[in-house]
Structure 1
């Protein structure tokens, strides 16, 4: 009887040891997961806009925004542009693209008045994009002066593609020509 009792006690000890081993394994997994989370950092902030053509245009596509430590990465995938052409990609003050010419989007986004000095780039002037021989423009630009929250946030504003490219030497720096596509920037 003692022997049987000892065996049961031994089995209980073994089972209890396995339980501690599984707990230790689970704890190690949590520590590893916490390490991965701190290694990977916080979830990146993201936004996107579906661009629709203005009157007389056929330009459509998507512009995505991902905030990183060095600025917002602006990725674009647009079709319907004139072949082998350059265009200004800009953020406008209001996320209103209801006017047929996108004039309801307002002026180019410029939250910092010091950027209006001659030769300074306005935050909303993201850059120029190039359409290939098929009228497709894909790629990305980094916009260091905007964000997806705070005073410099582009959320709920409009991203606009203009017919012509930005002239970096012109004052004020604005896309020339009419808007050919517009879309409201929304958080994802």
Structure 2
């Protein structure tokens, strides 16, 4: 009887060791796969109403492999076109949004249309609100970064400003876009 019990325990030990080795191999594979996936970094700006508007929304930035993808969704706008920009200071305390300063323009370029000759890095452009006051816009660029050390690219600590009117994409220094109706500070999301 003792021999059968000893043989049984030996077999169980061998099977357990074999299964343990499979788990270790699988964990090694998982670590290798995980290590090869690039980490993304996320920042957000929660937009609150300014200048007696009812604008609200959220702008999300995700950086992956040197590219920043931006997506904005806003509500409470009047139907039609509205300018949206990155401004130099992440301070939305003023009722009219003026505490956010001017357009973020670290390269001292002229204001203009994104991707054309002369534009601020904060010149996102225009978005169109539908009949319900809802607007969405996306952008992808390698000219921004989230939390990097390059002051000419880092958007953290800046503000998103939404304007009452459209950006004419030529008037200096800010496109004659009218009142600031929404503002949100761009902040780094915790991991």
Relative to the length of structure 2, the TM-score reads: 0.83
CA RMSD in angstroms, aligned pairs only: 2.3
CA distance in 2 between counterparts of 1:175 and 1:72 reads: 27
User: 1:163: how far off?
Assistant: 1.8
Instruction: Choose between structure 1 and 2: higher helix proportion.
Output: 1
Residue 122 (str. 1) matches residue 123 (str. 2): no
Aligned residue pairs: how many? Answer: 182
1:66-112 deviation line (CA, Å, top 9, x unaligned): 112353211111111111x1122111111111111111101111222
Secondary structure, counterpart of 1:125 in structure 2: coil
1:46-125 matched pairs, under 5 angstroms = 46-69=42-65, 71-83=67-79, 85-113=80-108, 115-116=109-110, 119-125=117-123
Query: Residues 179 and 64 from structure 1, CA distance in 2 versus in 1: closer, same or farther, beyond 3 angstroms?
Result: same
CA distance in 1 between counterparts of 2:29 and 2:119 reads: 45
> Structure 1 regions of 5+ residues with no counterpart?
none
Q: Is the Cα–Cα contact under 8 Å of residues 164 and 179 in structure 2 kept in the other structure? A: yes
Q: After TM superposition, which residue ranges in structure 1, 4 or more long, deviate above 6 angstroms?
A: none
> Structure 2 regions of 5+ residues with no counterpart?
none
CA distance in 1 between counterparts of 2:64 and 2:130 reads: 28
User: 1:167: how far off?
Assistant: 3.0
Q: Which residue matches 2:8?
A: 11
User: 1:16: how far off?
Assistant: 2.2
Residue 164 (str. 1) matches residue 161 (str. 2): no
Q: Is the Cα–Cα contact under 8 Å of residues 52 and 183 in structure 1 kept in the other structure? A: yes
CA distance in 1 between counterparts of 2:127 and 2:19 reads: 56
Query: Residues 137 and 32 from structure 1, CA distance in 2 versus in 1: closer, same or farther, beyond 3 angstroms?
Result: same
Q: 1:142 aligns with which of 136, 140, 143?
A: 140
Relative to the length of structure 1, the TM-score reads: 0.84
Q: 2:41 aligns with which of 34, 38, 45?
A: 45
